[in-house]
Structure 1
Amino acid sequence: MIERNFLAQDVLTAEDVEMIHEASMELLEETGIEILHEEAREIFAENGARVEGEKVYLSRELVEEYVEKAPGSFTLHARNPENNVTVGGNNSVTAPGYGSPYVTDIENGRRDSVYEDYINFTKLAAASDHVDVLGGVLVEPKDIADEKRHAKMLYAGAKYSDKCLMGSALGKKKARDCFKMASMLFGEDEIIDDRALVISLISTTSPLKYDDRMLASLIEHAKYNQAVIIASLIMSGSTGPMSVAGTLTLQNVEVLAGIVLTQMINPGAPVVYGSASTITDMQTANLTVGSPAYVKFVGATAQLARYYDVPSRAGGSTTDSLMVDSQAGYESMMNFMTATNHGVNFILHSAGLLENYMTMSYEKFIIDDEILGMVDSYQQGIEVNEDTVAKELIAKVGPGGHYLAEAHTMQHMRDFRTPTISQRATYTSEEDLVSTVESANQKWKDIIADFEAPELDPEIDKKLVDYMENL
């Protein structure tokens, strides 16, 4: 978890935010949003919303009343309490890539992801000092039957890590299965509902729609006090207006409707204002996550979430590049650093992704982990005190001296971050010319080979396995 020491940057003026808010209120009240789930529509109606067929209309008063009930921050619990994270405030919580149907490495190339890949990326995330939350659809294991896939994914996170976990957003039953398994992991047979054990990603269907499966999962999460990220992935020019401000307004309408629903079900339920919105590349018709426009969405999303006093989700080490190359590096650094500098609280897609959200790369996971470490070190700020100002030492060494033999140097020489794969050595021969991607390839293999899972009570392990087998 990155604890930010700098003030979050704003990309919108106060007047800009008010204009987006006012337009959103009018759209919610006059245009409405399509809710393709009967129980969700009933909940809206019971709490004062106007419902006509499958359309729900929310008044300004209703939106403001229920958004105010959402918490400004909350704790996500891990089975190892030392790995609990606070989502909100000055924290940026990180999670790796999510949802990729493909994986790649420099030796075997791009291929369908399978459960072995899921376990490998779980181990890499568990071993990282910078990844806080894992699980969910880290990659899509296509060799596991759909009815068991969600449980196998959560089990891998429980088996190979003691960090916080993502659950399933794929309907009522799968969400509840994850609650049940997470509760077992915490030593309880009944579902724990007094604290958040999992967080899941609820996606809107842009423009202005929520589908049945996502709504069913949202309702279960809110009922059981489990955390959700309500997120829009709007593509300016295709599923949203061909302007950043217009897409932000559409996103705001969609996300606010989901936040209101969670609070109608369970006031105070943990919820995050989320975005993966970006522009459509009009030459390829693809979404683009490596452009300056994308980071404008990231910054504006964080700012809108602060306006409503709820945590935000956006950003990550994302790239449009198809390979681990310079483009992947500069786009990923731009995107991740922007997310922290603008104050994003939950940064999904923090490590591993290539080709928008389509492919997880073993080598890029390691390179992105280096980026996370660099940004974390930067966000720690500068310690200024009598010792670090070193006035007496500067006077003692005086002009023309050096500091190599000083006790102060020995005391502080480990204060600065040491890279894990970045090259700092001087050139001596051709053997020194090892590329970053080659170093990353060796690094991920070493981590997998040396990996030791945290201890898991055998009785709990058996309960989890038995539960999966009976699904």
Structure 2
Amino acid sequence: MARPGPKGGQYCPLTQAQILQVHQASLTVLARTGVHVEHAAARDLYRQGGARVDGHRVFISEEMVKTALDSAPSRVLLAGRDPANDVLLEGKRVYAGTGGSPTMMLDPGADTVRPATLDDLRQMTALVDALPNCDFVVMPVYPTDVPEELAPVNRFYACLTNTTKHVMGGVGTTEGARQIVALGILLAGSLEALQARPLVSAITSWMVSPLHLDTVVTDILLTWCSYGLPVALSAAPMAGSTAPVTLAGSLVQLNAEQLSGIVLTQLARPGTPVLAGYIPGVADMRSGGYLGGTVEFGMMQAAAAQMAHFYGVPIYCSGGMSDAKLPDAQAGYEKMATFLLAALGGGNYIHHAIGMVTNMSAASLEGAVIDDEIVGMAMRALRGIEVTEETLATEAIDRVGPGGHFLMDPLTLQFMRSEFFRPRVADRQNRASWEAEGKRDTRVRACARVTELLSRPRQVGLPAEVDVAIRARFPILP
């Protein structure tokens, strides 16, 4: 049974009136500017759904948007092989996990990166499976040593055999999408069983901002929708580069892009479980590069969550991003800022939160351990302060009385484990004890935690008969 994520929504950068303004402006963009669609079948779907089509330009009406939003599910289950790891996306419930599929790996303690491998993917997945605040697995690295034609099934297989949490990832071809569905069917037993408990889901970066549907990925999106399985629509415009420089204007464009994608999924297969994938970046005005560790990134994620809540569609978003090259002080403050703002905004499915450095280009094992602690602290903040007759503690105050001590009071014993977040990496000793233990900094302690977690016995492999069937069907790499 899914454990409910804590509720966000405490931070609302947009007023209700501003939400309506963004919504109306987005409808204006869709109806007046439209989206560029080169994929013929997608254009036909839009046309049949009531859109005006002029060449490759598709103009989407408000009525089409309303019909699609009425059709899209308001709650989406992303199942784990262990039902205790199920993620149920609805309302303002918040979950966090990995993401980004970086192609580079930063080894523990190193300051230079190297190309990521399939073994790195296995090891990273095994690590995050053991992290208590990581709710799901989005491909944490992209192995560069796997031939492209073998990549989809081997990437998913590497994750699925090292975690019982939900696995989501991108696929580069329609054939790859079909392979992942076939893999999921072997795991679940049938397509119907997989639809009921989706053990795998897909990310489709179908939108090339501004307002241009990628032909190849649109084909993958339509293929995936045909199976009725959950799909995340990922669009990542950069304010000042591929979106207007103003945050409001960037949000309008991104929102219009998401609405166009939701319309397409529901035209392809009504009722398709879809996650609105708002990833609002900021362009570095000096280099034109993508920035993910900015405070504006977190603000925009919270605003995007408000839009998704307004539409009643779960949101796939981002947080815990940093432009730092190492798991250092910059990484710490940027990751906390971007994750906490996204979580307080009520982002349902916050990926990129665990295990990445250098924006989305490199993965780090000890970074993942530190990030898990950042997420844990943020989730404790979301839980808030419980105010009940018991927690108001008037009886305990009366028992202890003036000048007393609460350390051994029954209320302390009852709540001391649940009331406070207890870190595993942060050092809370006095200075003398810290010096006596070698003056280890955060990264050194995190590396030790990585070794500890990866040395634990684990039993997360697939059932033998399922594994045999998968290996008989697909070329699984050693």
Normalised-by-shorter TM-score class? over 0.9
Alignment map for 1:366-381 (pairs within 5 Å)? 366-381=369-384
User: Deviation of residue 392 (structure 1)?
Assistant: 2.0
Within the alignment, does 1:345 sit opposite 2:348 as a pair? yes
Alignment map for 1:59-458 (pairs within 5 Å)? 59-108=61-110, 109-135=112-138, 137-188=139-190, 192-203=194-205, 204-415=207-418, 416-428=420-432, 430-432=435-437, 433-458=439-464
Moved more, 114-123 or 217-226: 217-226
CA separation in 2, counterparts of 1:100 and 1:88?
A: 28
* TM superposition score normalised by structure 1: 0.95
Amino acid at match of 2:157: Y
CA separation in 1, counterparts of 2:366 and 2:396?
A: 44
CA separation in 1, counterparts of 2:352 and 2:32?
A: 35
Amino acid at match of 1:156: A
Amino acid at match of 2:91: G
SS of residue paired to 1:3: coil
SS of residue paired to 1:68: helix
User: Deviation of residue 14 (structure 1)?
Assistant: 2.4
Contact 1:197 1:226 in 2 (8 A): no
User: Deviation of residue 224 (structure 1)?
Assistant: 1.0
User: Deviation of residue 190 (structure 1)?
Assistant: 8.1
SS of residue paired to 2:95: strand
Give unpaired runs (5+ residues) of structure 1. none
1:56-85, CA deviations, whole angstroms, 9 ceiling, x for partnerless residues? 111121122212211111111222222211
SS of residue paired to 2:71: coil
Contact 1:78 1:197 in 2 (8 A): yes
CA separation in 2, counterparts of 1:244 and 1:21?
A: 14
Q: 1:180 to 1:8 in 2, by over 3 A?
A: farther
CA separation in 1, counterparts of 2:122 and 2:264?
A: 35
Contact 2:8 2:347 in 1 (8 A): no
SS of residue paired to 2:170: coil
Moved more, 182-191 or 450-459: 182-191
User: Deviation of residue 271 (structure 1)?
Assistant: 0.8
Aligned residues: 470
Moved more, 405-414 or 170-179: 405-414
Contact 2:99 2:137 in 1 (8 A): no
Moved more, 12-21 or 270-279: 12-21
User: Deviation of residue 156 (structure 1)?
Assistant: 1.4
SS of residue paired to 2:324: coil
Contact 1:10 1:342 in 2 (8 A): yes
Computed over aligned residues only, the root mean square deviation of the Cα atoms, in angstroms, reads 2.0
1:432-461, CA deviations, whole angstroms, 9 ceiling, x for partnerless residues? 421000011111122222241325211101
Q: 1:195 to 1:406 in 2, by over 3 A?
A: closer
User: Deviation of residue 300 (structure 1)?
Assistant: 1.1
User: Deviation of residue 2 (structure 1)?
Assistant: 6.3
Contact 1:127 1:451 in 2 (8 A): no
Give unpaired runs (5+ residues) of structure 2. none
Q: 1:190 to 1:5 in 2, by over 3 A?
A: closer
Contact 2:339 2:353 in 1 (8 A): yes
Contact 1:168 1:200 in 2 (8 A): yes
**Deviant stretches of 4+, over 4 Å:** none
1:259-279, CA deviations, whole angstroms, 9 ceiling, x for partnerless residues? 001111222211111122222
CA separation in 1, counterparts of 2:107 and 2:450?
A: 10
Aligned-pair identity (%): 32
CA separation in 2, counterparts of 1:4 and 1:329?
A: 22
CA separation in 2, counterparts of 1:273 and 1:104?
A: 31
Moved more, 450-459 or 218-227: 450-459
